[in-house]
Chain A
Amino acid sequence: MKNRLLLKLLVATFMVVGVGVNSVFAQKSLDRWVENVGKVEGVNYSVITKKNKVTKKVESHLVSIGFKKEGNEKLLAELISAANQDKKDAIEVIERKVTGTLNPQVLIFYEDETQQTVTYVFGTTGTSISLVVTKEVKDKKGDD
């Protein structure tokens, strides 16, 4: 009887932790790629955090990455791989088939804990690749 109760508690704990981890790390591969690419040379990398003038709280967080296709094939392959890994957890996926390959265009994730949406927008302009990550920070009270 005691063992059954212990087992139930253990299962409940795993479930709670599992849900939490899933929501927090829904886009972990993409996050990791974004973090690592900032250290790579020859990559344009901007981090912009905008605060509200009055409340002084963070309104939005934006990361922009841009690099040339040529010489960065590995980087591009890693990005597509990370996007493909995480897209199952996205709330919205828009993909485009280019020369037989399905490439991500927009991935939108929702973080349960923070109640925020994180948007990944992929762009291809001729010889270069761009990725813009936007995180709209909402006030939990809803008075933003």
Chain B
Amino acid sequence: MEHTNRYIEELLEKFFDGLTSIEEEKTLYNFFNTGEQLPPHLEKCRSLFHYLESDMTEELKLIFDEKDEAMVGTVEHSRWNTLLIRTWVIGVSTVAASLFLYFAVQPFWQTEKFNVYEGSYVKRNGIVSYDEEDVEAEYIRLNALVEKQIACANQPFVEAQRETEIRYCQLQKPFTDAKLQIAEYKEIIESVTYIMEEYEK
């Protein structure tokens, strides 16, 4: 036996007090790992060291490995999920923004693009212009001209109509005056009749 039982007992005491060095712990593990016949009080500790050396370490290793794997998996999974969500959010936002812009801008874009004078032209002094501004200016000018000329052409009729109305009123005046006079006389007669009747009573 390399180490005396006494020395092992001392090391055990130190081990349970947590004062052993790595070297001393190795000594203990090696001692209990030999498979030699030990005194009963030391034999009890064999299973403990055996457990500590093999089963527990294996178990702990296994637990830590599983935990690590699970953790790595979880981290990987959550990373993937985040990336997927981000991609979705960015994609949906882009599509929504594009649609909004398209529908918001489309009417203005269309009205700007649509030429209301399409196919129209102005020919002046032998020069033909299809320019929208030229055509619009000519359209406004011509409309004003037409309005003015129609008003001018109608002027004699308007004047004649006004004159007729004035003359008609002048001609009607004696009749209107006479009618008013008759109404006045009627009122007087009625009031005189009423007074006479009252007096007779």
Contacts and interface: CB of A to CB of B under 8 A. Distances in A.
B1 interface: no
Contacts of A130: 145
Interface stretch (B78-86, B115-123, B159-167): B115-123
Contact of A53 (B116, B123, B152): B116
Q: How large is the interface on B (under 10, 10 to 19, 20 to 34, 35 or more residues)?
A: 20 to 34
Contacts of A134: 142-143, 146
Given A42-B126, A56-B114, A105 B149 contact: yes
Interface residues of A, number: 27
Interface stretch (A1-9, A43-51, A71-79, A80-88): A43-51
B154 to A, nearest CB: 7
B145 A44 contact: no
Interface string A40-69: 011111111111110010000010100000
B108 to A, nearest CB: 11
Contacts of A45: 123
Interface in B107-166: 111, 114, 116-126, 135, 138-139, 142-143, 145-146, 149-150, 152-154, 157
Contacts of A94: 153-154, 157
B139 A50 contact: yes
A121 B135 contact: no
Nearest to A59: B116
Contacts of B125: 44
Given A45-B123, A51-B116, A51-B118, A62 B142 contact: yes
B2 to A, nearest CB: 107
A106 B138 contact: no
B149 A49 contact: no
Contacts of B111: 53
A122 B138 CA distance: 17
Nearest to A105: B153
A106 B145 CA distance: 13
Contacts of B139: 48, 50, 62
Interface string A80-105: 00000000000000101000000001
